[in-house]
């Protein structure tokens, strides 16, 4: 009887389960897969009956995976990745490449990763690297990325965590009060507890903020006008250090850089090369950090 049940297993049902895990919704999963919600619900229910276990529970209006479902998330991710690779190889006649997804903030990607990507891709001809710098919160626990570079240590998670470096921040302001009282540029209130924002407040405690943004690149461009005061990571200071129009107050704050890796990639040779490449970028002396131009 058990063998008969196993013979009726539909592997495509697991693709639906993976989509529900990613979206926390039958409706959103159906939209992503080009199905209707009834089909998604029916197929999940069929798999639950076949396995004799509930895979999802309703929590605050969302479909959250049960412990049984969480236990197979790594396998679901591997199945989805394998299917994606197989489809791409057959379509593109590419029989060697592998794709990994890395998420990080835009500034780290543009100033720290991008200058060294050519060397990485030349050294690893099998690699296809997808870098995500979108504002959406990429959830490693839902297997939405293989690697993540973050400026803080995660409080929890089943992924592998490794401190790979420290980013120092410096205060940038016009020299000698040129152009009157400079405006203040800062993060939005939701990010006000970051160390660099505490440093900014200590150097300009009585001044009101004129520009709020979470984008370090917008900050850099605004500070370049010579009419504002703000804090930037040292890897973005190149043009300010070379200009006599700016005063730099160094080392006002620091943030740790953490590399997160999905646990199933622990012994994957190609994944380990990518992880070492990320670590090497932040292990270099500050003078070797690429300038912003």
Condensed to tens digits (0 to 9), the pLDDT of residues 237-253 reads 999 998 999 999 999 99
122 and 242 in a common domain: yes
CATH number at residue 118: 3.40.190.290
At residue 125, φ and ψ (nearest 5 deg) are: -65, -15
Domain count, the chain: 2
Q: Is residue 89 part of a domain?
A: no
21 and 156 fall within a common domain: no
Q: Cβ neighbours of residue 166 under 8 Å, at least 6 residues apart?
A: 254, 255, 256, 257, 282
Task: Report pLDDT for 6.
Answer: 47
- The predicted-structure confidence for 255-289, as pLDDT tens digits, reads as follows 999 999 988 888 888 899 999 999 999 875 443 33
Residues 178 and 102 in one domain: yes
Please indicate, yes or no, whether residues 242 and 126 belong to a single structural domain of this protein: yes
81 assigned to some structural domain: no
d(CA 137, CA 38) in angstroms, rounded, equals 28
Residues of the chain with pLDDT under 50: 1-7, 95, 285-293
Q: What is the pTM of this model?
A: 0.65
Structural domain that includes position 141: 96-293
């Amino acid at each position: 009887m058990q063998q008969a049940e196993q013979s009726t297993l539909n592997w495509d049902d697991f693709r639906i389960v993976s989509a529900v895990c990613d979206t926390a919704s039958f409706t959103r999963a159906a939209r992503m897969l080009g199905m209707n919600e009834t089909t998604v619900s029916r197929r999940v229910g069929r798999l639950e009956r076949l396995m004799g276990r509930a895979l999802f529970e309703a929590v605050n209006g969302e479909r959250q995976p049960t412990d049984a479902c969480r236990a197979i998330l790594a396998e679901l991710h591997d199945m989805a990745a394998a299917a994606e690779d197989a489809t791409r190889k057959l379509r593109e006649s590419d029989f060697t490449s592998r794709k990994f997804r890395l998420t990080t903030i835009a500034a780290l990607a543009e100033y720290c990763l991008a200058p060294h990507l050519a060397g990485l891709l030349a050294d690893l001809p099998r690699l296809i690297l997808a870098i995500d710098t979108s504002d959406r919160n990429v959830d490693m626990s839902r297997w939405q990325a293989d690697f993540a570079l973050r400026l803080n240590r995660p409080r929890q998670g089943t992924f592998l965590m490794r401190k790979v470096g420290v980013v120092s921040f410096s205060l940038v302001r016009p020299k000698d009060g040129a152009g009157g009282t400079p405006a203040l540029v800062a993060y939005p209130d939701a990010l006000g507890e970051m160390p660099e924002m505490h440093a900014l407040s200590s150097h300009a405690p009585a001044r009101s903020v004129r520009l709020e943004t979470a984008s370090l690149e917008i900050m850099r461009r605004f500070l370049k006008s010579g009419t504002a005061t703000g804090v930037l990571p040292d890897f973005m200071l190149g043009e300010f250090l070379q200009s006599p129009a700016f005063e730099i107050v160094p080392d006002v704050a620091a943030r740790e850089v953490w590399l997160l890796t999905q646990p199933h990639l622990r012994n994957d040779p190609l994944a380990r090369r990518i992880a070492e490449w990320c670590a090497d970028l932040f292990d270099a002396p500050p003078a070797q950090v690429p300038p912003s131009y």
